[in-house]
Structures are given as C-alpha cells and as structure tokens.
Structure 1
Amino acid sequence: MPAQFHTRVRAELDSIDQQGLTKPERVIASRQGPVITVAGREVLNFCANNYLGLGGDERVARAGIAATERWGSGTASVRFICGTLEIHKELEAAIAGYLGFEDAILFAAAFDANGGLFEPLFGEEDAIVSDSLNHASIIDGVRLCKAKRYRFANSDMDELEAKLKEARGAGARDIIIATDGAFSMDGYIARLQDIRVLADRYDALIMVDDCHATGFLGEKGRGSYAHHGVKVDFVTGTFGKALGGAMGGFICATTEVVQLLKQRARPYLFSNALAPAVCGSSLEAIRIAQGEEGDALRKQLTANAARFRGAMTEAGFDLLPGEHPIIPVMLGDAKLAQDFAARMLELGVYVIGFSFPVVPRGAARIRTQMSAAHTFEHIDQAVEAFTTAGRELGVI
C-alpha cells in the first residue's frame, strides 16, 4: 500500500484522540452480569444492554450449549440453500407469538434486519418518514431504498404530520413511518399513541425498532407499542439485549410480508443462517421473559431505574428525563466524558463515555443502563462512585 495512505490513517487517528473521541475497548474476562472482571479485578457493570440480566444466566447458556450439541456450530450456508434448521423455524414462531405477530424472519444481526426491511417493500412511488434520532441501522436501511425520504424532528408530532401531508400531497403510493421504539442514546420512548393517530389519519404504515424495548417494556415485555397499547405493522428487534444478550435480529410482520422478505431481503439471502447456539439461548430467554419470572424481573428493573435516577438527581447530576432503564448522565465535553469513565473504572464501576459521532457534538455523556440483575447495593455503590468522580472532576 502507498505510504501516504497509512500516513493519512495515522493522522486521522491522532485527530480523533486529540479531540477526546477515542473509544477504548476494555477487555472483559468473565460472563456478562452486574459484576464483571476487567483488568484482573471485579467491577460493577453499568453500561450493558443486559436489561433482564439474562446475558450470563446459566439456563440461557445451557440452552445454547444443548442447541450446539444437537445442530452443530452452524449451517455453513444461507437459509434458502441448505441453511434452514428446525430450530430456526421454532425461533421465528416463538418471537412472532411472543410479540403478537403472524410471522417473523431472522437475521444475523438487528442491523441487518433494519437494512433488509425497506428496499424489498418500498419503491420510487412510496415514501418513508423517519425520526431524526433513529438508529444508524434504520438510516442505512432507508438509504438502500428508492422511496422518497422525509425526516421529522425527534418526537415532534407537528412536523411528522407536516411530512405526512407533504408525502400524501406528492402522490405517494404507500407511506411508512419509521421510528425507534426507545431511542438508545437518550432513553426516550417514542410517542406511539400519537404516531398511531397520525398514521390512521394519513393511511400510513408504522415500523418500530424495538431493540431497546423488547423483553421489558409493556405488558409481558412485548415492547414499546404494547407499552402504549397500540398496534404497529412491522417490529424489528434483537436477541442481543434483553433476550439473552447474544446476537441476531428479526422482523415481525404479517405472513405475506415475511414471505416477500424471504424472497427479496438481501441481508437474509446472502448471510449465513443464525448459529444454533444463538437460537437455543434466545428461545430460553423468550420462555423466561414471557412468564411470571419475566414479570418479576421487569418489576425489579423498574425499581432499580427509579432508585438510581432519584439518587443521582439528589447528588446534583444532570440527567435526561424519562422512564426507561437507559439513564444518560450529561457531561457535555467529550474529553470530560472519557476522563470520567476512566476515573469510574478506577473506583470500581464500568461505564463508557459517549461522544460524537455516536451522539451530537456538545452532548457527551455517560450512558448508564440498569439491569434487573443489579441489587440496590450495587446501585448505591455506583452512585457513591459517581459522586466521588463528579466532585473530583468538577461536575457537581
């Protein structure tokens, strides 16, 4: 390779580091859980998407092992060639039934689910109206589609209606409103009741990415739409957060939509089938989540979030408002966020500083995430560490 290429790469890395935007990878030497091993010592974990605490659950791990023992490590093929196993069909039926849909299609990742949804279903005659804070995977999925694109400010229903009116006025055949069910950087829950009203008024479809909602929001943890008591047309989600913490994504919809996606969705057609271990673990996580134990875990998660939010507010930290177990601690400056996270690790709490381009410039933060596996003692210890670091770094 030309030397100038490597010189340019090094210069860009140096620039990222000088701005305090370098995102370090800290190696974990234990299972996912409320307490993890980092750099040879145990620390409290307050930044995982392990909402129900099932990421390190022994039953979930054993189910994955059992699936591997029966089905092997993988299919060595894509689904339509010779890669569809019985356990894939079982998982599709399980997630569709849990979330209240006719059918589901599996993907190697939730990013692929959003990347594969729009292009097969919508063309030049159609319109996509997307929330400005939508996840990068939705943005990329929309870019792959030839439908006309409209954008509305986060949860701004007046602007959403204006865009829907504009799309209808332009003669759109079908309109789909695309939104996160819960916005991962802020913990805001989408205003799906209001979106439902507007969708009905303008004869539009609704797509919801519920990666940060499935398993713990709404009745039985069915998601953001269940939280608001409304119906939506498409739900995308993941098995990599509340439902076992492994990987893999899905789209839930009507049977006909799923069948068309299986014929046309490129991430599905050209990616190996989901590993049996992921399927087995995810099935066990769904079983737990939709039962009485899931109810108890959701209750604990809610209590944990309320305790942390109350104590941090009392300590003087600037928190974004909300009811979600994602609780961002706002710091503003990117370097401060990195320094704060490093000091927290020294104090025995694993958190991550988020800065541009993951969040807007000037909106750097520590994004904390509660888990049902946390105890009140864990939370109180974390708040104590936050308070110590906050005073040392001049935040409070």
Structure 2
Amino acid sequence: MNKWKQIARIGSLMSLILVMVGCSGVSQQTTDRIGGNDGINQLQQLTKVKVAIDNGPAEVGIFLGDHLGYFAEQGIAIEPVKFPSGPDMLLALASEQIDVTRGVINAGLFNAYARGIDVKLVADGGHNDPLSPYYSIVIAKSLEGKVKDYKDLKGLRIGIANEGSINEIFLAQALEKGGLTMQDIEKVIIDSFPDLTTAIANGAVDAVIQLEPLITQGLKNGTYALFKNPVEYAPEEQLAILMYGKRMMKDKELGNRFMVAYLKGIRAYHEAIISGDKNREQVIDILTQYTFVNDKELYAQMNKPLLDPDGTILKKGIENDQNYYFENQLIKQKVDVGQMIDNSYIEAALKVIGPYEQ
C-alpha cells in the first residue's frame, strides 16, 4: 500500500474538516508512481518536500501534481505528513517540521505572524465557486420555507465547528446582511463538521456552517435545506491558502519549482472537472482514491472547491478577515497583509507555464 492510500485510509476515519487537532508522523515516500529499481534511484535524486495534508478535496494541486508526475518533473518528491488540525499545521510549519501547508485564514495565523513567526501566503488554496459553493450556511429541512431571508436567522441556534475562523466569519457576514449580530442568535460550538449534521438531525441546532460533501449528503437524506448563496454575503472570502515555511523562503528556486507543479495540478483539475472533461475519469479516480470523498457518484454530485489556475490570492478577503478578528478582540494587533502575501512564487511559475487560458 503506497503513501497516499495509507493516508487516505487514515483520513476516512477522521473528521471531514478543512480546519483541522493532532499530528502524526511522516509517511513513506512514493515509489510505485515512478516504478522499478530505476524509479527508486530517481526518487533518491529528487528533493524531498514535506507537505501537510488533511485529505480534503481542495488539495487537488498536491494530489494531482504528484500523481500526474508534475512534481517529479520539477525534481521534487512529495513527503506527505498527515494533520487533522490547522493550528498544529501552523506550529509544524513555523518549527520547520514541514515545508508547505494548506490551511485556513484564522485568528491564530495573524497572532502568530504578529509574534514574529514568519510564514508566507503564496497561492490560492480553495474558495467558493459562485455558481456552486462547496462551503455555506444550510438550515434544517423542517425550516425550509420559514427561514428565507437573513433577518429570519434571528433567534436561531446556529452551529459552527470552531470560533476565530472562517466558520465564525461566514456566520457574522450573513447576520450583518439581515441587520443582525451574534447577540441575535444562539451560537453553538460543535466539535466537527460531521457532528454538525448529527446536531441538526436531532434538533440540537437549526442551522449550521457546513462544507461538501456533507452538504450534498444532507440534502439527499432530507437533513438539510439550502439557505442563501454565500456569493451574496461572503463574495471575496479566501477559504484556504497555500503557505510556505522557512525552507521554501530560503530556497526560492525550490519554492518556484514547487509552485510550477502545484499550478499544473490545479490546471489539470480545472480542465477535467471545472471547465472541461479532459482526462476526467483519471482525475476523479485519483481524487476519490486519495481524498476523503471516496465515492465517485457522490464526487460527481457534490459542489466542487474552486482553485485559481494562476494561484491568485483574494487579498481583500484576508484583510476583511483580519478586521473582523481585530474588532472582536480575537487578535491584539493588526499586521500588514501585504507583507504576509508573497506573490513572487506565482510570478516565477507563470513565467514558466504562462497565464492560464481556458
């Protein structure tokens, strides 16, 4: 069993979360993709890069970059490290236990940066497709027709997976559209995204901030009803982002090569799933084999995460997040978001592969 199958099996037993509470060890290197004794020799010559993963469906740039050979083309061997927790990923990145991670923009990230922990936000790690969002507010099926507008959220018990993160910001933005605040609802903190489904099914909450594929599953089994499209209340939200640690910042050439492969993986995803059907069967097979969405039928039905083929970061959304955290005293001081973002790796990669043309 290769590295990704081992990790996918572990991931399927864990919570299906984007923002993630413990750290496991480093898994073994891939040899089967390169193959044979010659492949092993090639692998030994590749530069190993430790990448934190949570087996989420938005990790397409990593999975496809690896399994379609783009990282090997750039002289890189991905060494995946399994994490179910965003805070632990950030700590591991800061302490150089890993080189690259993909995570959410939360209060902890700003606090860490303010304390001098140097990480760079280098590329898009996932955002909502305006036509088919994979992360949004959903309501209990029993409230369908009753909760239609933002003002109707008043008095509801609304579940979120954690505070000080994108979950809380999504809720706050929706409430603001209805002239409401957190004081107008009962906010319920629930351990994980799967537990949010349980809570709404047993009547413990009336609405939740949820992600795919749990939204599609809940709609199919009659647990959920859709609310508003988040393009209305969170139009510029950067749901997740690719981050580099110290090693990739010191070795710019390695960081640039990594970015070339990462963007090529995202482009393969776009051409197979988002904007076309090139190699669709192969791509879906890879993604259902190595992410926690392991049902091909469900993968076809669910809303997919959107990633920019040129890696563009939604800076305005990150600035809005920081403003919210500061105003609600979740961070003590603001930082220069422009200093946190480093577009140089994208710029270097685009000189190699060119801007994306759909």
Q: TM-score, normalised by structure 2?
A: 0.29
Q: Higher relative contact order at CA 8 Å, sep ≥6: structure 1 or structure 2? A: 2
Q: TM-score, normalised by structure 1?
A: 0.27
